[in-house]
Amino acid sequence: MNRLAFKMHLNEGQKDTYIKRHTEIWPELQLLLKESGISEYSIFLDKETNTLFAFQKVSGDGGSQDLANNPIVRKWWGYMADIMKVNPDSSPVSVPLEEVSYLE
């Protein structure tokens, strides 16, 4: 099992919308993530900087950021693009983080 972490940026004032959209995550997206080997996916918000910190446990080498060609993921990105910092293709600007310590 691999652990992946990355950060993204939420636009100012969009916390409630972000939470609502994730509370109502589409069932087809949830299924896709699970079928892709993602067994845990947590997202935390640093309210001072609007930085989102995401953590995933995955079986295999890739995480959610490697599903860019899936139409469900592309549709989700479009849905979220108005409340986050995104790339020209509507994917979230995402910075991978290096794991430097782990205690099991």
3-class SS of residue 7: strand
Among 2, 19, 22, 89, which one carries the catalytic annotation?
22
Query: Does the active-site annotation cover 22?
Result: yes
3-class SS of residue 14: coil
Torsion sign (Cα): 53, 57, 61, 66: negative
Catalytic residues: 22
